[in-house]
């Protein structure tokens, strides 16, 4: 099979031929048809992601495809069932063997491309806004990086949950996409002062931040007393300092949120969240925005879209 593989940590991945392999006990083999790209893939290539596997390994964190074989002790889902699963690694390949407990059968109305770009982005935003920040109807939600892979889902989920959503992104094209997904107000991060605009709109009760850096600092200063700030990631490359004295005075809460970490200590939270998200998808309340698809031999082009921040929503590799 073809696979986008890293032989040595820190070196560029290569498209190579590898043995297909057979599923072990408790595993299924998937004929992979789509794999979502994530900012974490870029960090894994550099060996800087918190869950970077030991090299050698194949990239690709979230996949969709068709059950091709069962390992010992496995009989479901049936051969031929379309499923999605969080792989962590191994998704950018024609086949992969994964724990059956992670497999989620797809609704009939969900394409495999949508499914491959669904789990991490929507799962992160829903778990963050619902389980962690307890976002309430009529609260004001500020989303930074609002046209990116996770940011756009936060805009969409925030509206489903009844919040007033302020979306911050770079440039008019990205802001139009945020509006199309439900943003009530938009801020152009290239031209406007985030703090001033948010305060003029009454301040933020919850901040969703996958960007970090100066944008976090501006959002922190525009957060209302008793507000909650979700630290999702640092796409800017800058981890911001957090002034604990200001947190004290304004009764603010800064919440760290790493979706994949819940697999290790509270998988039920992910399962419950995903059940709600798949229900919303089936009801037409949410719809993934896949801005670009690339074939397996053009993974590098897809990753470049993420690195240069030219993409909106998700980038998916079709296999």
Give pLDDT tens digits for 26-53: 999 999 999 999 888 888 888 877 778 8
pLDDT at 68: 94
Confidence tier at 261 by pLDDT (50, 70, 90):
confident
Query: Helix, strand or coil for residue 255?
Result: strand
- The answer, as to whether pTM is greater than 0.85, is no
Q: Higher model confidence: residue 207 or residue 274?
A: 207
Beta strands in 37-171 (DSSP E): 57-58, 62-70, 82-86, 95-99, 104-105, 140-143, 164-169
Asked if 35 and 94 touch (Cβ cutoff 8 Å), the reply is no
Is there a shared CATH topology between the 2-118+288-318 domain and the 121-260 domain?
no
Confidence tier at 96 by pLDDT (50, 70, 90):
very high
Task: Say how far apart CA 222 and CA 87 lie, in whole Å.
Answer: 37
Strand partners, 313: 290
Q: Which two tokens stand for residue 83?
A: 């499923």
Instruction: Tell the CATH superfamily of the 2-118+288-318 domain.
Output: Medium-chain alcohol dehydrogenases, catalytic domain (3.90.180.10)
pLDDT at 66: 97
Asked if 24 and 45 touch (Cβ cutoff 8 Å), the reply is no
The H or E element that residue 125 is part of is helix 119-126
* Extents of the domains making up the chain: 2-118+288-318, 121-260
The CATH number given to 121-260 is 3.40.50.720
Query: For residue 165, with 0-12 CB atoms within 10 Å meaning exposed, 13-18 middle and 19 or more buried, which class applies?
Result: buried
Mean pLDDT of 172-193: 94
Using one digit for the tens of pLDDT, what is the confidence trace for 53-95?
A: 888 999 999 999 999 999 999 989 999 999 999 888 899 999 9
């Amino acid at each position: 099979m073809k696979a986008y593989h890293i032989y040595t940590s820190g070196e560029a991945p290569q498209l190579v031929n590898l043995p297909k392999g057979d599923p072990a006990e408790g595993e299924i083999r998937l004929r992979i048809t789509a794999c979502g790209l994530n900012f974490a893939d870029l960090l894994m290539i550099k060996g800087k992601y918190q869950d970077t596997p030991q090299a050698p390994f194949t990239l690709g964190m979230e996949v969709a495809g068709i059950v091709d074989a069962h390992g010992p002790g496995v009989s479901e889902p049936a051969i031929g069932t379309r499923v999605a699963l969080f792989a962590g690694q191994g998704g950018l390949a024609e086949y992969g063997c994964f724990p059956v407990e992670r497999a989620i059968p797809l609704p009939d109305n969900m394409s495999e491309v949508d499914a491959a770009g669904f789990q991490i982005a929507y799962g992160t935003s829903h778990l963050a806004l619902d389980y962690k920040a307890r976002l309430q109807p009529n609260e004001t939600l500020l989303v930074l990086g609002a046209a990116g892979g996770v940011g756009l889902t936060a805009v969409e989920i925030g509206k489903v949950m009844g919040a007033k959503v302020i979306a911050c992104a770079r440039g008019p094209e990205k802001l139009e996409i945020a509006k199309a997904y439900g943003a009530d107000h938009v801020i152009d991060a290239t031209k406007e002062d985030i703090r001033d605009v948010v305060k003029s709109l009454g301040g933020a009760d919850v901040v969703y931040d996958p960007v970090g850096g100066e944008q976090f600092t501006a959002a922190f200063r525009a957060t209302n007393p008793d507000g909650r700030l979700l630290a999702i990631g640092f796409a800017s490359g800058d981890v911001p300092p957090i002034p604990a004295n200001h947190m004290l005075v304004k009764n603010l809460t800064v919440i760290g949120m790493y979706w994949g970490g819940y697999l290790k200590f509270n998988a039920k939270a992910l399962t419950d969240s995903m059940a709600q998200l798949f229900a919303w998808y089936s009801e037409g309340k949410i719809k993934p925005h896949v801005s670009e698809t690339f074939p397996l031999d053009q993974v590098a082009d897809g990753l470049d879209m993420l690195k240069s921040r030219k993409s909106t929503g998700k980038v998916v590799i079709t296999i």
